[in-house]
Amino acid sequence: MFDSIKKMVNKAGIGKPNIMKKYIDTFKKNKLDSDEELLVYAAPLAKPTELLFITDKRVFYYKMGTKDTSMDRMVDYKDIQSCEISTEDNHASIMIDTTSTTITMNRVAIDVAENVKQTVDNKLNEQ
Q: Where are the domains of the chain?
A: 2-126
Is the model more confident about 48 or about 50?
Answer: 50
Among the ranges given (21-25, 44-48, 66-70), the one the predictor scored with the smallest mean pLDDT: 66-70
Regarding the domain delimited by 2-126, which CATH topology (the fold level of the hierarchy) does it fall under?
A: PH-domain like (2.30.29)
Burial of 106 (0-12, 13-18, 19+ CB in 10 A): middle
Q: Hey, which of 3-7, 23-27, 99-103 has the most confident mean pLDDT?
A: 99-103
Contact 63, 44 (CB under 8 A): no
Q: Residue 103 and residue 97: Cα distance in Å, rounded?
A: 6
pLDDT tens-digit series, residues 54-95: 999 999 998 877 676 777 899 999 999 999 999 998 999 999
